[in-house]
Structure 1
Amino acid sequence: MIEQIGGLPPGALGFRAIGQVTAADYAQVLVPDIEAAFAMNRKLRLLYQVGPEFTGFDPGAMWEDAMLGFRHFSGWDRVALVTDVQWLRITAKAMGFAVPAEFRLFQDAELQQAIAWISEPRADSDDGNK
């Protein structure tokens, strides 16, 4: 399941993975919210928390995740992954260079720091829309 994390500034979206994440979760929660946000912003910031309640991704969910990134390849400003799931941390460290945005990896205990980083104003813009 994926649920939205509220309280982030305009141009920033947050999601939390809980239990088993499926392609339907992407189709019903994540994709519509991200597409709507891109309709209003040229650049987005994403906070994605995969906490201790997470049990895994279905193959379809992993495909949807990749396709969402490709659809908006140049539209990401910052991406924060918050997790203590070891295989995700290893993958993120190995593949972080391929993320088309400023990317940071945080531990679960650093969720508030990740939120602060995602919420920082852009250095080149006051409105976060560039």
Structure 2
Amino acid sequence: MLQYINDLPKHVIGIHATGEVTKQDIENVLNPRIEELTARQNEINYLLLLETDIQSWTTEAWWEDLKIGLRNFDKWNRIAVVSDQKSVEWFTDAFRFFIPGQTKCFELSELRQAIDWVSKQD
């Protein structure tokens, strides 16, 4: 399930992932926020608080997420992924070579630092 993280600066999208993440979660939660943000500004600052296994994302959810990423390829500015899963840290580190902008992984205990980092305006 995906839920919005409130109380972030207006130029940052915050999403909290728990349990199973489905295509409908991506379409109904993440995609509308991405579209709204890109209509307002030409860059995306994205915070993902991942408190579920990456295996809990359905194949369809991964596909929808990938399509959003590619559709907005040149708009990614900062992506902060917050998780205690080492595989997520590896994936985040590898992902940074495929998109413009900056990506950084944080542990759950570093959520405040992740918010501060993703909120910086260059």
Give the TM-score of the pair, scaled to structure 2.
0.92
Q: Which amino acid aligns with 1:99?
A: I
Unaligned runs of 5+ in 1: 123-130
Give the TM-score of the pair, scaled to structure 1.
0.87
Q: Structure 1 residue 72: deviation in Å? A: 0.5
Task: Provide the C-alpha distance between the structure 1 equivalents of 2:72 and 2:95, rounded to a whole number of angstroms.
Answer: 18
Unaligned runs of 5+ in 2: none
Q: What count of residue pairs does the alignment treat as equivalent?
A: 120
Task: Provide the C-alpha distance between the structure 1 equivalents of 2:58 and 2:111, rounded to a whole number of angstroms.
Answer: 25
Higher helix share: 2
Show CA shifts across 1:24-52 (max 9, x none): 0001111011101111111120001102x
Task: Provide the C-alpha distance between the structure 2 equivalents of 1:41 and 1:79, rounded to a whole number of angstroms.
Answer: 16
Identity level (%): 33
Aligned residues: CA RMSD: 1.2
Q: 1:98 is paired with a residue of what secondary structure? A: coil
Q: 1:109 is paired with a residue of what secondary structure? A: helix
Q: Give 1:89's aligned residue.
A: 89
Task: Provide the C-alpha distance between the structure 2 equivalents of 1:93 and 1:40, rounded to a whole number of angstroms.
Answer: 28
Q: 2:63 is paired with a residue of what secondary structure? A: helix
Q: Give 2:63's aligned residue.
A: 63
The runs of at least 4 aligned residues of structure 1 exceeding 4 Å deviation read none
Task: Provide the C-alpha distance between the structure 1 equivalents of 2:37 and 2:59, rounded to a whole number of angstroms.
Answer: 25
Higher strand share: 1
Q: Does the CA contact (< 8 Å) of 2:93 and 2:103 recur in 1?
A: no
Q: Give 1:98's aligned residue.
A: 98
Task: Provide the C-alpha distance between the structure 2 equivalents of 1:41 and 1:83, rounded to a whole number of angstroms.
Answer: 27
Q: 2:17 is paired with a residue of what secondary structure? A: strand
Task: Provide the C-alpha distance between the structure 2 equivalents of 1:35 and 1:91, rounded to a whole number of angstroms.
Answer: 25
**Structure number, greater radius of gyration:** 1
Q: Give 2:39's aligned residue.
A: 39
Q: 1:74 is paired with a residue of what secondary structure? A: helix
